[in-house]
Structure 1
Amino acid sequence: MNRIGLQQFVVHSFLVLLLFAANLTAQARIVRIEITSRQSPTFEGKTFGQVGAYEKLRGKAYGELDPASPQNALITDIALAPRNARGMVEYSMDIYILKPINLSQGNHKLFLEINNRGGKLFGGFNNSSGGNDPITAAQAGEGFLMNLGYTMAWNGWDPSASSVNNNLTISVPIARNKDGSMITGPSYEYIVYDNATSETYALAYPAANLTKTQAMLTVREHLQDSAKIIPASDWEYVNDRTIRLLPAGTPFRQSAIYEFHYTARDPIVAGIGFAATRDFVSFLRYATADDFGNPNPLADDIRYTFSYSLSQPARYVNDFQTLGFNADDEQKRRVLDGIENWMGGGSGIGLNIRFAQPSRTERNRQNHLYPEGVFPFAYPVLTDPLTGKTAGRLAQCTATNTCPKVFEINSANEYWVKAASLLHTDTKGNDLPDPDNVRFYLISGAQHGTGNGNSRGLCQQFQNPTNAEPALRALFLALDEWVTRGTVPPDSEVPRQSTSTAVVAIPQPGSQTGLVPQDALGWPTIPGVVYNGLVTTRYLLDFGSSTQQGILTTFPHDVAGRPSYVNFVSKVDKDGNEVAGIRLPPVAVPTATTTGWALRSANFGENEGCEGAGQSIPFKVTQAERVSSGDPRLSVQERYHTHTKYVDAVRKWAQTLQKQRLLLAADVQQYIKAAEESNVLK
């Protein structure tokens, strides 16, 4: 070999060693990205302002985690996951990207939607119904995000999500004991069918054995009833993933509450779902290519990163922050700069536990006794007097200087059925000052999402059609300006003890719910409307003890004798509409009473909580109708007198919200147009 060749060989060998050393020290990263399809342009070539056309990329990302890394070691059972030849734990996930074809014409910002059970829900931002795989120009809707130049991305994180209908999911390993034997442990199923035809129930995890004496199935008609054990002769395992009642063909009783305690096997390492999002965003933001030379499709483009989450994934993001996953594992760089959480309440998701069931969520009459509503609830570091633990959502990111700016936005439903007030109080219900990086907003009188105002569903009253999306759009832009320009955001708008807008829920001994007294709330007695004050109470549940985080040794059977945390809801005005929070035109200029709570109708658990639904209870049109019915609320005619005055009232209130940066100009015009086209006093 000549001298020049020898020098080239030495240099090449040195570079290979550097790459090898880098890979040895890398603790977690996306090692391969695979784009399986590219549609360019998408949306039938539709262009968006000065940004131009968009393209769609679909594929998979493959990641590796060092289980010895301090951050990764927080993942329950990762030490018991199988490892590759390099000692790393592997996972793979679906990915989906919508980006400007010409990235230089975009705004260099990432809008990461944390998907809900695998589904994409960004349509509300764009006023579209594009579904899980938007293709046509019509499915792009108004293109709110595209007109502004955002790149949008999604990744699988929920291992319980199905891959059907273009859903996103993630593949994570099954944990095994160190000797290779299967892991077993307690698991629990809360079973309610709101129909009279379902005959089988699929378990989240396979049963460790089919011995019925080692399992227990109970039933009760109402939440306050004592659970009755169903004899082993009256149910059976169809197989290790399915149970049914006997004799075969017997349906589960409509809306009855069944609970199944059993020993499960083969837990997945579900908490890897947190690391997957961390590593995906870090790759898109900071990497140029993967380990195999495949280019990052957003290389050198992303300057700011934002997440948007609705419901289940908002609870995921709560835990994502608490566990410190907003710092990437290699260089402790910030992953997300801004977070808009919609309808997450003060809850987590129960993802980072053995035998996790992240698709579950607890409400007044739904999925009780899962490890969702556990301390910490708030952002500041606090000491919990019930457990003695000290924690807060800000603790980890403060230590690594990676805290994002956060908007926690909740509907009234989250205050009534998910104890959302614990987000901005201590565990005794005392107001906390806003952290420097967090703001809190209640969308007054809204249910969990936008209800169908022409349908009752399982509930007693028509559902609540109050649409929060106009406020979500305005707040998202305020969040962007806070992150990118340092512009101070709108003040928090939530019920507070200090402003006398909060009504504390009273726990009911031995009950899984509490009550809000009618007089304290200010609720009017409306003919034909039941009020019983049902509200979720956060109890300190006992899941047993383990030396390793996330390993539950038991599931509680009830809340009897358990202490509780203090939570509250917003007071209401004389119409029954909430006084605290962002009062959108349907609440501030009302034609109905709108609530975040509702009650189930007869044959469906009557007078118990109707899950995420709210109510829309119309005012009478005339004074005569109101008086004859005994309705204490003023009629529409008494309030506004004429259609023109009603439209003027809507206009003035919408413009007021715009000045407060809580509505955008386009949405103000939509409210005015809707009022003009309405039949109010026409």
Structure 2
Amino acid sequence: MNRSKSVLLTCVIVCLLALFTGSITQARIVRIEITSTKSPTFDGKVFGQIGAYEKLRGKAYGELDPTNPQNALITDIRLAPRNAKGMVEYAMDIYILKPIDLNKGNHKLFLEVNNRGGKLFGGFNKSSGGNDPTTAAQVGDGFLMSQGYTIAWNGWDPSAAAANNNLTINLPIAKNKDGSPITGPSYEYIVYDNAGSVSHTLAYPAAVVTKAQATLTVRDHLQDSPMVIAADGWEYVNERTIRLLPAGTPFRKSAIYEFSYTARDPMVAGIGLAATRDFVSFLRYATADDVGNPNPLANAIQFTFSFSVSQPARYLNDFQTLGFNADEKGKRVLDGIENWLGGGSGIGLNVRFAQPSRTERNRQNHLYPESSFPFAYPILTDPLTGKTAGRIAACSASNTCPKVFEVNSANEYWVKAASLLHTDPKGNDLPDPENVHFFLVSGAQHGTGNAASRGMCQQLQNPTNADPLLRALFIALDNWVTKGIEPPKSAVPRQADKTAVVAMPKAGSQTGIVPQSALGWPSIPGVTYTGLITTRYQLDFGTSYSQGILTNYPPTLADRPVYVNFVSRVDNDGNEVAGIRLPNVAVPTATTTGWALRGAGFGENEGCEGAGQYIPFKTTKAERVATNDPRLSLEERYQTHDGYVQAVTNSVNKLVQQRLLLPEDAQDYIKNAEASNVLK
């Protein structure tokens, strides 16, 4: 048996022992403090039979036994300071919105895993939400409140700024056994898309401010060779800041700088995973904390759900992989998970010198430990490393698997290799696990773009809004968990139905190419197509990476083998054929894409990060012929405004039947079509 398989077997055995060994000390929330209560909140708004809501803010204090097998996998926890009981302590912000009368609620918890400390649940309520929702306007249509959900947040991200009502967590610093500082390699990928940035703050303090022990490089484009900046071209301002010389010299706009140095004092960042586990477990199962403070949701929660957008969706991928959906009594923590924009990536939280605020895209934050095997849920063997693993392995051993919806935009397929969620490492389709469904939002960018703005990209941004779909899918997830009703079938590109177009990797690069002919991309006047796509390479972070310690950091890309990924084929308009085609794709007025390219002065023709494109059709046949646009005009498609409205109506009615839109959201699409200026 090779080492990786042995490690997996050991992990499974350890998890089972943790379930059945009663003598193991339990990690838990030992104290909860509600520091402020606003009752009622939302200007006293009443949500039907549920009544009014109240807002609770406070702190939760937790303890972890570093010798417990479920905690021992947290990197550096054995090197964290301990209290008199031998426990490792942490403290985090908590925030709860609940019915004043919990008996009138639906006895379900909606945990939003915050994004860099911020709350992004507003789309569920058709509102701006905000980081401290207080007014009736901030609750929008009250979608969640009208159904009686209790909504909760907790701090987990140690890099979240302690400002603006962000949720934060206080974590211990790991030290060597003799009490001396831990040092090790750290890395900064630095890009400023402005001409005025004159300094850069490091994620961790430098162990020594000696330039001979650090390297700063620069290049203008990904394909360029990095050029080392001489020692007289930069300096440490202090242990946490560097700048170019002479002082006041700005970093070159959109150039790629990379800084490698020796850092010190790593946080035990992986505790952030245990913090969410223990917070939800406390709210669900406890009646009071260790000093008698009552659980504000005691005996009121029967089912637990999570919703997350982007960074925290990647966090929840690792949360599952590492077994944190079982609490230390072996009980399931989350029953249902709706991940939006997580891709097939993790978050790199459980490593020494973690930087969870970063994310890797085809021109952003390369070489961070975000995207390592396993990518998919089933237990597979990695042909590149021989390692055997899967996101479902730990919860299968403890019988605590949640029901999961992995929902991704086209941007995640183009920019974050999301196809690896539902394929093996060679790109072969996998059957869906019993507890997971996968959905592509066709042609969408990473979030909702502004169709009136290009930003630093070449084309207008993509305004596709997935919130109505996410609402419908959440209802389907709830029904799957609580009633056993099968949800809508997965909708993603597949090799089997020939909707998948495989990326061609580039040697020594984390980007590749999707050939235009294979994709079916039309040649649109004024639109550049390069086929740029992110691919996943097997990166060597060193022999200690399995313990979360990166010794080869940053790793090199030269001659690294690749994991196969793909995107959806497109139709004659350039719109994706696979996935869930919302009305703006099924009844298009433009070509919408999940990829975009940077404009002049911003690293031209390289990836425009999370942006997509909105490329409108011409109104008449004469206009499109005059510009050699191969895509049919609006006039040729719909003839009249009423024809367009009818096409939208047919599209949304079909989505309602498929349980991919709620009736009220379908009506919004129809009203918007009627109010539009299409062929008016």
Question: Structure 1 length normalisation: TM-score?
Answer: 0.96
1:24 CA drift (Å): 8.2
| Contact 1:223 1:512 (8 Å CA) reproduced | no
Give unmatched runs, 5+ long, in structure 1.
1-21
Q: Deviations over 1:249-282 (max 9, x none)?
A: 1000000000000000000000000000000000
Counterpart secondary structure, 1:164: coil
Aligned to 1:459: 457
1:590-609, aligned counterparts within 5 Å?
Answer: 590-609=588-607
1:119 aligns with 2:118: yes
1:574 aligns with 2:572: yes
Q: Deviations over 1:281-302 (max 9, x none)?
A: 0000000000000000000000
- In angstroms, what is the RMSD of aligned CA positions? 1.0
Aligned to 1:635: 633
| Contact 1:31 1:63 (8 Å CA) reproduced | yes
| Contact 1:505 1:537 (8 Å CA) reproduced | yes
What letter is aligned with 1:572?
V
Q: 1:374 aligns with which of 348, 372, 375?
A: 372
What letter is aligned with 1:241?
R
Q: 2:416 aligns with which of 415, 418, 421?
A: 418
* Alpha-carbon distance in structure 2 between the residues aligned to 1:668 and 1:650: 9
Counterpart secondary structure, 2:43: helix
Aligned to 1:154: 153
| Contact 1:33 1:62 (8 Å CA) reproduced | yes
Q: Deviations over 1:299-357 (max 9, x none)?
A: 0000000000100000000000000000001x110000000000000000000000000
The structure having more radius of gyration, on CA atoms, is 1
Q: Deviations over 1:1-24 (max 9, x none)?
A: xxxxxxxxxxxxxxxxxxxxx998
1:548 CA drift (Å): 5.8
What letter is aligned with 2:265?
D
Give unmatched runs, 5+ long, in structure 2.
1-20
What letter is aligned with 1:568?
F
| Contact 1:416 1:536 (8 Å CA) reproduced | yes
1:26 CA drift (Å): 3.3
* Alpha-carbon distance in structure 2 between the residues aligned to 1:512 and 1:43: 47
What letter is aligned with 2:283?
L
1:392-403, aligned counterparts within 5 Å?
Answer: 392-403=390-401
What letter is aligned with 1:222?
H
Q: Deviations over 1:528-581 (max 9, x none)?
A: 000000000101111111286100112135412111100000000000000000
What letter is aligned with 2:633?
S
Aligned to 2:14: none
* Alpha-carbon distance in structure 2 between the residues aligned to 1:580 and 1:178: 54
1:185-334, aligned counterparts within 5 Å?
Answer: 185-329=184-328, 331-334=329-332
* Alpha-carbon distance in structure 2 between the residues aligned to 1:29 and 1:624: 69
Aligned to 2:139: 140
Q: 2:544 aligns with which of 531, 543, 546?
A: 546
* Alpha-carbon distance in structure 1 between the residues aligned to 2:635 and 2:132: 46
Aligned to 1:16: none
* Alpha-carbon distance in structure 2 between the residues aligned to 1:648 and 1:547: 57
What letter is aligned with 1:130?
G
1:528-539, aligned counterparts within 5 Å?
Answer: 528-539=526-537
* Alpha-carbon distance in structure 2 between the residues aligned to 1:482 and 1:559: 43
Aligned to 2:6: none
Counterpart secondary structure, 1:117: coil
Q: Deviations over 1:382-409 (max 9, x none)?
A: 0001011000000000000000000000
1:658-673, aligned counterparts within 5 Å?
Answer: 658-673=656-671
* Alpha-carbon distance in structure 1 between the residues aligned to 2:355 and 2:600: 30
Aligned to 2:109: 110
* Alpha-carbon distance in structure 1 between the residues aligned to 2:114 and 2:506: 36
| Contact 2:540 2:555 (8 Å CA) reproduced | no
Counterpart secondary structure, 1:146: helix
Aligned to 1:7: none
* Alpha-carbon distance in structure 2 between the residues aligned to 1:130 and 1:639: 38
| Contact 2:541 2:555 (8 Å CA) reproduced | no
Aligned to 1:17: none
1:129 CA drift (Å): 0.8
Aligned to 1:75: 74
Aligned to 2:584: 586
Aligned to 1:353: 351
Report how many aligned residue pairs link the two structures.
Answer: 660
* Alpha-carbon distance in structure 2 between the residues aligned to 1:520 and 1:565: 19
* Alpha-carbon distance in structure 2 between the residues aligned to 1:269 and 1:347: 21
| Contact 2:443 2:593 (8 Å CA) reproduced | yes
| Contact 1:30 1:283 (8 Å CA) reproduced | yes
Q: 2:497 aligns with which of 496, 499, 504?
A: 499
* Alpha-carbon distance in structure 2 between the residues aligned to 1:639 and 1:84: 70
| Contact 1:245 1:252 (8 Å CA) reproduced | yes
Question: Structure 2 length normalisation: TM-score?
Answer: 0.96
| Contact 1:542 1:556 (8 Å CA) reproduced | no
1:46 CA drift (Å): 0.3
* Alpha-carbon distance in structure 1 between the residues aligned to 2:678 and 2:303: 45
What letter is aligned with 1:239?
N
* Alpha-carbon distance in structure 2 between the residues aligned to 1:504 and 1:557: 25
* Alpha-carbon distance in structure 2 between the residues aligned to 1:554 and 1:167: 33
1:112 CA drift (Å): 0.1
Counterpart secondary structure, 1:86: coil
* Alpha-carbon distance in structure 1 between the residues aligned to 2:365 and 2:587: 36
Counterpart secondary structure, 1:500: coil
Aligned to 2:175: 176
1:25 CA drift (Å): 4.8
* Alpha-carbon distance in structure 2 between the residues aligned to 1:483 and 1:665: 22
Q: Deviations over 1:186-228 (max 9, x none)?
A: 0000000000110000000000001101100000000110000
Counterpart secondary structure, 2:164: helix
| Contact 2:260 2:554 (8 Å CA) reproduced | no
Of stretches 267-276 and 545-554 in structure 1, the one that deviates more from structure 2 is 545-554
1:510 CA drift (Å): 2.3
Aligned to 2:560: 562
Aligned to 1:12: none
* Alpha-carbon distance in structure 1 between the residues aligned to 2:554 and 2:113: 30
* Alpha-carbon distance in structure 1 between the residues aligned to 2:488 and 2:271: 35
* Alpha-carbon distance in structure 2 between the residues aligned to 1:439 and 1:24: 38
Aligned to 1:13: none
What letter is aligned with 2:86?
G
